[in-house]
């Protein structure tokens, strides 16, 4: 469904992504993990076509994204902090996106559960960061994409909204490929099936979380990752 092949990306002379190879399929919830500055955001930007990569390719359903932007209609994206025109009304944003997507059917579950109709006539610039996150989440799921990319999706959400979003991810996971970046490993422990770990621009490992836990003897993802990293340091 999403295949990344020998992907390189540099900014000036700094290599940010180094020969990334990974194949992600429907039914996976892949947690994209790594310290700040390891290339997570750059990888997402490459997938979305927001930045050009220097070498390699990215395939969506077997077709190179270099062949045109049409593939973007298959992806729902939730940014870490959505940026929208401050003077635009919430209702106008959703109306505009529906017009652009021309979807025959929509998924309005999060739109309803996050009470977005109650803020429909407010300007986006009036909303709190957490409410903007709710808007972004509702938009990401609304057009029933095959692939979801969620960048720190629970950051800024209150506990109830966070649980609603995690429940939605779990409910949808069998029908989609979901790629999530998060520093909250407890959240990934609840919802992710695979861990994709970047270190200094290279893919350190991509494995089922259950396999990683079994190998480490830990049942918590955070402790499992920490143990793997300590082992790698000793081997270096």
Task: Compute the residue count for the chain.
Answer: 236
What 3-state DSSP class applies to 137? Answer: helix
pLDDT of residue 59: 98
**Does residue 236 register a pLDDT over 70?**
no
**Does residue 235 register a pLDDT over 80?**
no
pLDDT tens, residue by residue, 92-110: 999 999 999 888 889 999 9
Q: Under CATH, what is the fold of the domain 2-81+145-235?
A: Rossmann fold (3.40.50)
Lowest mean pLDDT among 32-41, 47-56, 68-77: 32-41
pLDDT of residue 215: 87
pLDDT of residue 188: 94
| Residue among 6, 12, 27 at smallest CA distance from 202 | 6
Q: What angle do CA 30, 44, 133 make, to 5 degrees?
A: 80
Which residues in 38-48 are b (16+ Cβ under 10 Å) and which e?
bbbbbbbebbb
* Mean confidence (pLDDT) of the chain: 94
Domain ranges of the chain: 2-81+145-235
pLDDT of residue 194: 97
pLDDT of residue 102: 87
Q: The whole model's pTM is what?
A: 0.94
pLDDT tens, residue by residue, 186-229: 999 999 999 999 999 999 999 999 999 998 888 899 889 888 88
> For residue 131, what are the β-bridge partners?
none
> What is the DSSP-derived secondary structure letter of residue 79?
-
The edge-to-edge listing of strands for the beta sheet with 63-64 is: 14-24, 2-11, 55-60, 63-64
pLDDT tens, residue by residue, 36-50: 888 999 999 999 999
């Amino acid at each position: 469904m999403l295949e990344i092949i020998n992907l390189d990306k540099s900014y000036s002379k700094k290599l940010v992504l180094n020969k990334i190879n990974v194949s992600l399929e429907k039914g996976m919830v892949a947690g994209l993990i790594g310290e700040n500055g390891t290339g997570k955001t750059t990888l997402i930007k490459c997938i979305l076509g927001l930045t050009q990569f220097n070498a390699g390719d990215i395939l969506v359903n077997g077709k190179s994204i270099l062949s045109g932007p049409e593939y973007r209609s298959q992806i729902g994206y939730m940014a870490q902090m959505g940026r929208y025109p401050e003077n635009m009304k919430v209702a106008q944003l959703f109306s505009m996106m529906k017009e652009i997507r021309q979807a025959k059917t929509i998924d309005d579950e999060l739109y309803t559960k996050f009470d977005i109709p109650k803020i429909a006539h407010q300007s986006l610039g009036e909303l709190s960061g957490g409410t903007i996150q709710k808007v972004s989440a509702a938009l990401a799921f609304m057009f029933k994409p095959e692939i979801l990319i969620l960048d720190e999706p629970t950051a800024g959400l209150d506990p109830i909204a966070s649980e609603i979003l995690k429940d939605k991810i779990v409910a949808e996971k069998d029908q989609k490929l979901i790629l999530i970046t998060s520093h909250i490993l407890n959240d990934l422990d609840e919802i992710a099936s695979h861990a994709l770990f970047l270190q200094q621009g290279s893919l350190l490992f991509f494995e089922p979380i259950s396999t990683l836990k079994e190998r480490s003897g830990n049942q918590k993802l955070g402790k499992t990752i920490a143990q793997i990293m300590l082992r790698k340091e000793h081997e270096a």
